[in-house]
Structures are given as C-alpha cells and as structure tokens.
C-alpha cells in the first residue's frame, strides 16, 4: 500500500460541480432552474460559496505578509468593531457582527489591518462563533508573541432569526482571553472597559 502523497497545492473548489449541485437542489425544492430568474443562479451561488469560504485557502503567512513591527512599549493595542461575516456550520446560514481584539505586545506589533484580515480569514469558513473567537485569539497570541490577548465577538445568527426559534433581536456574545488577559483581572477589565 502506497503512502498518500502530501498535497502541495491549495484546494480550489470546483465551481461547476457546486453549480450542478445547486441546480439539483433547486429541482428538489420544487423550482424550475430553467426559468429566467434562476438560469444563472447555480453559477452565482457557486461563485458566492467559493468567496464566502475563501478562508480555507488562506494561511497566516500570506495574511500577515511580513507586517510585523518592532515596538519598545508593552501597552495594550486594541482594534474594535471589526465587521465580520461568516456561515454557521450547522445550517450554512450567515451570522454577522463585530469583533474587538486587544493584545499587549512584547517587542513587536502587527500592522493594524492585519488584525482585520485575521478575523476575515477565520470567519470565511464554516464556523461556530465560539470556535471563531478562540481561533482569532490563539492566532494573534502566536503571531505577535503577545503577553496577553482578548477577543470579543457580538453577532446575530440568521439560523436563529429566520428559522427555529425565530428571535430577530437575539445577539450572541463570545469572548476568549489568553495570557495576562486571563490571569490578571485588571488587564481584562481595562480591555473590556475600552471596547
């Protein structure tokens, strides 16, 4: 039995195959995929799904792109109200909201736009909000070598708004705190008060 070859290329979704599956789904839902309004829908959905899940085809190296900068201070850095859009892995319906990230550097900081790009990379995958929050915090902690990191996400989930319990005003809040943000209550409180 041969060992599986290690993949060196990035997986690219087969948009034609996705379009074919969407067409089949339309038929199963009782629609006519040949009617004017739906003729191009399978291709549009395939393209949208490839875009909305592009985080699978990204990595930290390309997202950060070398944007580390030396910093002699170890003050808290905060970027708040970063818009995020994701798809829940349970129903593949969108959830959307805002993310706030804070960290205390130890000699280096990230270019500020890179924090938003990290959020996008993890959000553009099938997700649950709890894991998304943890992934962002862990990535920032690792990439910056931070003393501590805090991440808070507030989001609305269409799977709760459009189906199931149908609660339009519900908002989920998740947080992940690592390092000094977890061990030092004053640091955590400073972060929470600033966001």
Query: Given 99, 129, 135, 143, which residue is catalytic?
Result: 129
Residue 75 exposed, middle or buried by CB count within 10 Å (0-12, 13-18, 19+): exposed
- 88 assigned to active site: yes
Query: Given 16, 24, 90, 130, which residue is catalytic?
Result: 90
Query: Given 58, 91, 154, 190, which residue is catalytic?
Result: 91
- 157 assigned to active site: yes
Residue found under tokens 């549009």: 44
- Which residues does 182 contact at the CB level (< 8 Å), separation at least 6? 148, 188
- 83 assigned to active site: no
- 75 assigned to active site: no
- 154 assigned to active site: no
- 90 assigned to active site: yes
- 91 assigned to active site: yes
Query: Given 89, 130, 171, 189, which residue is catalytic?
Result: 89
First-to-final CA distance of the chain:
56
Active-site residues, by number, are: 88-91, 129, 157, 159
């Amino acid at each position: 039995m041969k060992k599986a070859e290690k993949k060196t290329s990035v997986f690219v979704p087969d948009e034609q195959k996705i379009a074919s599956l969407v067409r089949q789904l339309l038929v199963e839902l009782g629609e006519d995929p040949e009617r004017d309004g739906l003729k191009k829908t399978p291709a549009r959905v395939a393209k949208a799904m490839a875009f909305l899940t592009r985080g699978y085809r990204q990595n930290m190296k390309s997202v950060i792109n070398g944007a580390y900068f030396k910093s002699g201070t170890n003050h808290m850095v905060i970027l708040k109200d970063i818009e995020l859009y994701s798809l829940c892995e349970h129903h593949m319906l969108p959830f959307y909201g805002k993310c706030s990230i804070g960290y205390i550097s130890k000699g280096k900081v990230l270019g500020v736009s890179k924090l938003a790009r990290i959020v996008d990379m993890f959000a553009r995958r099938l997700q649950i909000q709890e894991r998304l929050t943890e992934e962002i915090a862990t990535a920032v902690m690792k990439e910056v070598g931070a003393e501590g990191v805090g991440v808070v996400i507030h989001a609305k989930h269409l799977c709760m708004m459009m189906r199931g319990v149908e609660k339009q005003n519900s908002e989920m809040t998740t947080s992940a705190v690592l390092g000094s943000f977890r061990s030092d209550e004053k640091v955590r409180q400073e972060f929470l008060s600033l966001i």
